[in-house]
Amino acid sequence: MERRDFLKAGLALGAAAGGGIVTLANAKTAPDLRPGETLRLNSNENPLGLSPAARRAILDGLDEANRYPRDSRVQLIEALAALHGVEPENIVLGNGSTEVLQMSVQALATPRSRLVLADPTFEDVPWYALPFPYELVRVPLDGRFAHDLEAMRRAASSAAGPALVYICNPNNPTGTLTPSAEIDDWIEAAPETVSFLVDEAYFEYCEDPAYWSCVKWVDKPNVIVARSFSKIYGMAGIRLGYGVAHDETAGRLRQFIGKNNANHLVLVAALAALNDEGLIPRSRAANAEGMNILHRALDELGLEYLPSHTNFVMHRIRGELDTYRERMAAHGVRVGRPFPPMLDYNRLSIGLPEEMSRFVEVLREFRSAGWV
């Protein structure tokens, strides 16, 4: 089959399978809200905003906005290498960590590759796989809402060709952990035909002793770790992520990106944020406070929720998710998009403590109305 024909077939397939991919543009907002009144609890952003140090770095960088990035790119790559105890050659910058997912999916595509991923998990990987002849195998999360690594392993090892395994840990949208020791066991034993793409976008929020980074496997050419500046670093809007990988793998990934895929303002902001020692502790503290407010209310209302190791919580609603989302929007709250098959849950991002108190008030109103 010509690639062009494959693309057409892929598009049709995507249209049939893509019902669960809902863009932000679908989120409804009540028209009568006053500006600034909307609670944006839908995209797992850091509600504290840019760190003051990052903001200053951007202001200082504006005079260079007309110049292609040069030193700032080199400096950030060196800082990231130092942070992880690797070489600059092991670091690949992405326009968001999603571009690391994109380049990985593209670089590892073969005519007979199998893509193994959890269900539900972050939607970008299947999106990037759409134009390639990957065979997608979705493996439901296990009883702990962790990745079912045994079942994923069987899916990878029974593939006719190479396998790409996507592990999002902590997992989005559930916020749950897959114990790192279990992942280590598999990576250690896996043949080179099995590649691992480990998404650690929420790494900095997770303080569980059973969790650690897969960057430790950087010497293995079949392991790629993706990290993000969109979450705890508060830079979702200005786009930066990075991959950590074996230098040969990193070199292969770079063939699928532009040499200037990161913009100067986010480069200087990220460097400043890495050097801002208060950023992670204060973001964790605000998140814990907001999380507590939410947990207390969910407990009180008897709405189950999954244990979260992130800045969002997957909690039960009672009734239809679409109706719930519309009613929330009408009350000035944007909540998470649908993540099938978990359509009796809402994924709620943790906002500022005062925003969570406001959300809890709305949730109590919903209970009074019999809506949850």
Residue 170 Cβ, how far from a second copy at the closest point, in Å?
Answer: 19
188: number of Cβ within 10 Å = 9
| Contact set for a second copy, span 195-234 (CB under 8 A) | 230, 234
Q: Which is nearer to a second copy, 147 or 231 (CB)?
A: 231
Only one of the segments 22-30, 171-179, 210-218, 288-296 lies at the binding site for a second copy (rule: CB under 8 A); that segment is 22-30
Pick the binder of a second copy from 114, 239, 327, 347 (CB under 8 A): 239
Residue 255 Cβ, how far from a second copy at the closest point, in Å?
Answer: 5
| Contact set for a second copy, span 58-97 (CB under 8 A) | 58-59, 61-70, 74, 95-96
Q: Which is nearer to a second copy, 81 or 236 (CB)?
A: 236
Pick the binder of a second copy from 39, 41, 46, 217 (CB under 8 A): 46
Pick the binder of a second copy from 57, 93, 98, 201 (CB under 8 A): 98
Q: Which is nearer to a second copy, 55 or 367 (CB)?
A: 55
137 vs 151: CA distance, rounded Å: 10
Q: What is the 3-state secondary structure (H, E, C) of the chain?
A: CCHHHHHHHHHHHHHHHHHHCCCHHHCCCCCCCCCCCCEECCCCCCCCCCCHHHHHHHHHHHHHCCCCCCHHHHHHHHHHHHHHCCCHHHEEEECCHHHHHHHHHHHCCCCCCEEEEEECCCCHHHHHHCCCCCEEEEEECCCCCCCCHHHHHHHHHCCCCCEEEEEECCCCCCCCCCCHHHHHHHHHHCCCCEEEEEECCCHHHCCCCCCCCHHHHCCCCCEEEEEECCCCCCCCCCCCEEEEECHHHHHHHHCCCCCCCCCHHHHHHHHHHHCCCCHHHHHHHHHHHHHHHHHHHHHHHCCCECCCCCCEEEEECCCCHHHHHHHHHHCCEECCCCCCCCCCEEEEECCCHHHHHHHHHHHHHHHHCCCC
Q: Which is nearer to a second copy, 175 or 234 (CB)?
A: 234
Query: Strands 345-349, 312-316: parallel, antiparallel or unpaired by DSSP?
Result: antiparallel
Pick the binder of a second copy from 228, 261, 310, 346 (CB under 8 A): 261
Q: Which is nearer to a second copy, 266 or 271 (CB)?
A: 266
Q: Is residue 319 close enough to count as binding a second copy by CB under 8 A? A: no
Residue 179 Cβ, how far from a second copy at the closest point, in Å?
Answer: 30
Pick the binder of a second copy from 263, 287, 311, 346 (CB under 8 A): 263
Q: Is residue 22 close enough to count as binding a second copy by CB under 8 A? A: no
Q: Which is nearer to a second copy, 42 or 180 (CB)?
A: 42
Q: Is residue 34 close enough to count as binding a second copy by CB under 8 A? A: no
Only one of the segments 53-61, 149-157, 314-322, 360-368 lies at the binding site for a second copy (rule: CB under 8 A); that segment is 53-61
Residue 288 Cβ, how far from a second copy at the closest point, in Å?
Answer: 18
Q: Is residue 370 close enough to count as binding a second copy by CB under 8 A? A: no
Q: Is residue 2 close enough to count as binding a second copy by CB under 8 A? A: yes
Task: Establish how many alpha carbons lie within 13 A of residue 256's alpha carbon, considering only the half-sphere containing its beta carbon.
Answer: 19
- Partners of 39 in beta bridges: 333
Site string (133-172) toward a second copy, x via CB under 8 A: ----------------------------xx----------
Only one of the segments 163-171, 196-204, 254-262, 308-316 lies at the binding site for a second copy (rule: CB under 8 A); that segment is 254-262
